[in-house]
Structure 1
């Protein structure tokens, strides 16, 4: 797997992954693994003073260990864990109020747009969706009411790459505006947006950070003390918090991030190259391919590329249905980033609540398939995709 042209990964990142969030003073009884602290409340002193923890909605030892890990991995001063990825998006959106405006990447996770359409817009927050691959589109969409520029790069599911430095430069020309980047598709192993001047980074811990498809959780990281304090207040007041047990699982999953991510990349590259030459595939969208129109931009702001690949198979809904029916190693499921390989049609899963005209504009069609390439043998995955494509579209 060639990493030529990408940012050079920090040599001690693996050490950071293994040790992040560990208490310097050690854990009770000399435990190597931080214990799961299930207590909902904590003892106060007779004088009425509290110790480090008060009530688990406000904070817990298990959540603190995870949040410290998030901050360390994202090169951030502050990290916060939320009960789901979309609750992290909700918390960030709640930084704004009636009359405020957000400029957003037109292609991104459908759960975010559903949240904004069904709830945030009713509070008086307005949105402009633009193709953020072109910085001039962002500049043109900014109004005096704009408070946030929200990007997802690479995007879900069309794999559009946004120039983070250009976004930050635009933001700095408009005081009172801050930037947010959803980094779920890359994880902090492959991309650390805060180092490019982004103000807030969002991760779905459910995906690559945890990596085992057994946790639903979200994260936010920032270097701004002011934004952190506001987000912490939202986390506490709304109660958008994960359980101690889920924090423990995510904390454990993070320990192997540096081992999993290169394997996801090498597998995805093998699969993407194979599908590029397959007669039953119209197009492959993978920023790690030299054929991707923004491959050079990705390499300039990332340490590699993840296991997310989108393709268009030849045909329409009938062929896609047959393709999913014949898969054996890839499981048809609406998530990503786990050790197992998954396949899904965005039109009836992640983007099922998006209006049809929006899907048509974005090119999210019945024959679009999003693959999350797992940790299996890449040749076995290619063989599975090959037989499913031939079964769906013919053997020729």
Structure 2
């Protein structure tokens, strides 16, 4: 087996790859035909395949009785997985990257760095699954989570405990209220006040194409690769990026010990999806801008960082290169919102986001239903909130379908888009 005592993992790339513009980086995957691997390579490829091969093998033959092969067992490492990890490390600007079985597995790996008696600081607007896992740690592992308004760096600073704080967990934009946390300012405060604490950012909403938290001061970044990175909702995956080798070694130990590394085939699917991230994201956020503008013009309260009226519009522009393709809006009535969601034809009623097709949901009844109602109320999460995850369809079709649903639900008087 891989030597977990020294926390070595296969196919570690040591040479720094050349950085191109974002869209080029996503498509260009470094490979090597050098039998020794070669500088900056990921996996030896004697056949120079144009597409990374799928090494669908659970185990690998060793050169001798003491092992010493680069790969021995796919739980510990696999060439296909190494390819996608090296590629993702490059585009996230991470020292090391890892791919695991889901976004929640990624968070679980990270939170295993927290010991009983230590504390986590997290936002007050979180994905329901994140909230559920934090609740489990509190109930069974003796890990306290302090929820604060992460849009206020001073609120984070006031919750810091130099002896106990181990992780500061940020979503930005948050899901589903699209609130923005100042990653740079918070990271500076945390590193000054609690040098042993790690700033962790869930970057799923933006993807590495639009935002790179490790370059903004974060220590760990993670994604649900099920979303934008794969883009087609045909696999489950989680991605973790570490800023330092020391942190990466801690994360790899957990991944190897628990066996949650991504399978070879899903690694190949994820790598294929990443190549088209730029074209998908550009189209999706362009569509989202048009949807947001339409809803704003109809008088709805819209949560979207591309809206100049968003309270943190300028901050988001400083942190990211685009507003993304997820927005939410309020109707003022839970019953009206239910009718809108059920009246759409093109917008699929579904949890998740980041897919090429558009999705609609009411978070309080679906993705965030695991958060108790009184907690949702305390955190000002509106029960009538509708979340739109915009795809790559023709925007006029999406607008017409949404407008028809608004009319059928009684949320708008009948009139043409014009």
TM-score range, shorter chain: over 0.9
Which residue is 1:83 aligned to?
101
Q: Are 1:341 and 2:358 an aligned pair?
A: yes
Contact 1:27 1:33 in 2 (8 A): no
Structure 1 runs not aligned, ≥5 long: 1-9
Which residue is 2:92 aligned to?
74
Cα offset for 1:105?
1.1
Deviations 1:119-169 (A, max 9, x none): 454111110000011111101111231111110000000100001111111
CA distance in 2, matches of 1:46, 1:74: 37
Cα offset for 1:49?
2.6
Cα offset for 1:395?
4.8
CA distance in 2, matches of 1:382, 1:392: 15
Which residue is 1:198 aligned to?
218
Cα offset for 1:304?
0.8
Q: Give 2:246's match in structure 1, choosing from 215, 220, 226.
A: 226
Structure 2 runs not aligned, ≥5 long: 1-18, 35-43, 414-418
CA distance in 2, matches of 1:332, 1:27: 43
Contact 2:336 2:411 in 1 (8 A): no
Q: Are 1:188 and 2:208 an aligned pair?
A: yes
Which residue is 1:304 aligned to?
322
| Distance change >3 Å, CA 138–CA 24, structure 1 → 2 | farther
Deviations 1:335-392 (A, max 9, x none): 1001000011101111111011111123323311111000011121111111101111
Deviations 1:80-122 (A, max 9, x none): 0010000100010000111110111111211011012124541
Q: Are 1:172 and 2:181 an aligned pair?
A: no
Which residue is 1:364 aligned to?
381
Contact 1:104 1:129 in 2 (8 A): yes
CA distance in 2, matches of 1:20, 1:80: 16
CA distance in 2, matches of 1:24, 1:223: 28
Which residue is 1:240 aligned to?
260
> Does 1 or 2 have the higher relative contact order (CA < 8 Å, sep 6+)?
1
Q: Are 1:378 and 2:395 an aligned pair?
A: yes
Which residue is 1:16 aligned to?
25
| Distance change >3 Å, CA 311–CA 141, structure 1 → 2 | same
| Equivalences, count | 384
Which residue is 1:4 aligned to?
none
| Distance change >3 Å, CA 216–CA 368, structure 1 → 2 | same
Which residue is 1:160 aligned to?
179
CA distance in 2, matches of 1:290, 1:362: 24
Q: Give 1:259's match in structure 2, choosing from 255, 260, 279.
A: 279
Give the TM-score normalised by structure 2: 0.89
Cα offset for 1:29?
2.7
| Distance change >3 Å, CA 348–CA 258, structure 1 → 2 | same
| Distance change >3 Å, CA 333–CA 256, structure 1 → 2 | same
CA distance in 2, matches of 1:275, 1:268: 11
Give the TM-score normalised by structure 1: 0.94
4+ residue runs over 6 A deviation: none
| Distance change >3 Å, CA 119–CA 293, structure 1 → 2 | same
